[in-house]
Structure formats: C-alpha cells, structure tokens
Amino acid sequence: MAISFEPSEATKQARAHFHSIAREQLRPISRRYDDQEHDLPTEWVDWYWRNGRGQAPQVDGPSDGFVQVCVQTEELCWGDAGLYLRTPFAGLGGSAVLAAGNSEQKQRFLSVFQGDGHPVWGAMAITEPQAGSDSANIQTTAERDGDDWVLNGTKIFCTGGEGASQIEGGFVVVWATIDRSAGRGGIKAFVVPAGTKGMTLVGLENKLGIRASDTATLRFENCRVPTGNLLGSAEVHKKGANKDAKAKGGGKGFKGAMATFDASRPIVAAMAVGVGRAALDCVLETLDREGATPRYDAPPTEQTALERDVIEMEAELQAARLLTWRAAAMMNQGRPNNLEASMAKAKAGLAVTHITQKAVELLGPGGYSKKLLVEKWMRDAKINDIFEGTQQINQLIVARRILDYPSGMLR
C-alpha cells in the first residue's frame, strides 16, 4: 500500500493561516509575557476568542483530522509555546471529557467553548506532590455522600489551572481515588466547575520556561460535585477481577487518564516540533545573511562542523514531526496508538532539547543574550521532555509495548 506524507490542501491552508497568526499575534508579545510571567495576555486571549477561536478557513476536500490539529499546534508554538498554553480552550480537561465522558457530559461541559460568551478554559489535575510520573499513587480522595462526591487533596503543576478554576464556564478534571485498596482500579475522574466551593487556587509556579502559561497548585477541601460529574462508572474493579466483569462495568477511570495521554502526547510532540523549528529557522536565517548557507550536496567528509550540525538538527526535527503525524493519523483511523504516541513524545522531547541548545551554541553571544528569542526557546523546550510523561516514562512505555511486558515486569 502506498503511503503519502503530503498534507491535504486543507492542512496546507491551515498551516499558512496559523503561521500568520503566530507571526502577527504571538511573536510580537512573546518576550513581554516571558518577562511578566503571571500577567494574563489579554490582547491574545481576546483576539483569539473574538476571531472565531483562530479557526482556519473552510476548504473543499478531505481533512487530515488530528494531523491537522498537530500542524496547527506546531505553527502556534513556532510563535510562542507559553502563549499557546494560555489560549482559551478546553485543553487536557476537554480531552479527558472526550475520552471518558458520556454524550450528555460532553454537551454540558464542552458546549461553552463554542458559544459567544467570555473566554473560558479547561484543565486537568492529576499530578500530586507524591504522585508525579507514578500516577497510580494518587492520594486525593473522593467519597460518596448522597447525591454528591466529596473531594479532598492537593494537585500541583496543573496547566491552565488558574483560568479553569477561577473563570465561570471553565472546569478542572480532577483524578481521585474512591478506593485506595483497589490501586489503579479505584482512580476516577471528576469534573469540578470553576468557582466550586472547596476548590482553592493556592498559587502559581515560577518557571524556567513556558512562563506565559499558568501552572497552578489547587487544593480541594470538602469540595462537593454532583454524581453526574463523575466521568465513567463508579464501579471499582480490584486487581485480579475477571475481564468480563470489567467490561460490564464500563469504568473509564485510570484507563481513561491513559487514553487522554494517548491523545495529548502527539500534541505535546507537535509543540516541541514548533519550538525546535523556531530555533532552527533563526539559525538558518542568520547563516543565510552571513552567506554561510549549508551545502546539502557536499559529501559529509567535506562539510564543515557547522554544516553537519545544522543538517543533523533538520533531520532530528523531521523525524520527530513524522512520528507525531503517524500517531495522529492512527487516531484518525481509530487505531490504538499508545506505543506511537509515546514514541513521538519521547523523540520530540529529545530533539527539541538538542536543537535549541545547539542553536544557542551556534549563534554565540547573540544566542545567549536576550537580543534574540533563542535563549527563551531553549528554556521553553525542556518542558516537552517532562510533562505528559517524562522522557524516562515514555521510553519505559515504548519498551513495554515492544517487548509485550506487563507493568510489573519492567520498571
């Protein structure tokens, strides 16, 4: 079967559209909101919401679906990854609702993002002080009390958590255990609307990179949500339960979280590709001005060290992009992409870290100073190797899937 890597006409036009937005709306304010970390970028938020959420023009012909979403993400992060994360959209919280919610919940919580009201945000709260990469060690509890679930615990590093928890219409999807003895089987997801009593914004992180984004700590103290805000079934299947019982239960607890990551990791990989491409473009533009364009047709033995570095950077970026598109294309086809999503995320995290550091090196004092945005992109890059599963966790997932090992056999 022939395989084409040529994007559809719709994707090509979407790329040009979002590149224009990145160049005209994000780049001009990029440095300001890197310096003013916790200020809301109102000009970007209002422009995006007012202009149809930045929607690309409609084009006749087939769409590339989730691949086009990744292309859009790459372009916007070429502009600024931190501002992209501050964009008013459903975010990871919306991905969790789509992965684990029923049709009524999807309509109830996501329709506001299509309305004409004020900008709103969604977020997901899963990481805890003692549960980072080990998501199964979640200690936040949810206890049933009549028609409500009562949540207690603390969540950290919640991307988009400020807007999602404070501004009416937004929501935070909180992962909590309803039965600690059940391990992963007891972990469920609850939608907590913004402003819910008992959900408190404790503080915002001061970060190395993606400083324009709001990374929040949220505390839940006797926080009540209706039973209808539970995503999936409340039935708990303890370790060793038979598969038929699990299937009948219909629960989408911990597996729902993992399914969310299978959708979000290609997006994070696309973010990394966008930041890496910004740094590489800056290097190439500088070399072109200096009359030092790399000689791609020269034998490797005759190329300079600089030429070999640039060609390697380009190869790394393209490999990360193609892995990202592959994972996204599998989602379009409804095929399991757990392995491919982790491969894309792991490769892109390594590639963007290497590319941005090399860009700073090749550009010398200018690359290290604030005269250029390259030093900022180097700082922005590292998070792509950490959130949505660290480099080590994603490599572990890849190894388990290739070797067909259960989680207990490879740690």
Q: Which residues are catalytic?
A: 388
Q: What whole-number distance in Å separates Cα of residue 356 and Cα of residue 279?
A: 6
Q: Which phi and psi (to 5°) does residue 141 adopt?
A: -110, 155
Q: Checking DSSP bridges between strand 230-231 and strand 171-177, what pairing results, if any?
A: unpaired
Q: Which phi and psi (to 5°) does residue 200 adopt?
A: -120, 135
Angstrom distances, CA of residue 360 to CA of 26, 196, 229, 278, 368:
21, 45, 47, 12, 6
Q: Which phi and psi (to 5°) does residue 88 adopt?
A: -75, 100
- CA 97, 100, 102 angle in degrees (round to 5)? 80
Dihedral of the CA atoms 71, 75, 77, 78 (nearest 10)?
A: 140
For 213, counting Cβ atoms within 10 Å of its Cβ (0-12 exposed, 13-18 middle, 19+ buried), the class is buried
Contact 171, 198 (CB under 8 A): no
Q: Which amino acid is at 364?
A: G
Q: What whole-number distance in Å separates Cα of residue 275 and Cα of residue 14?
A: 18
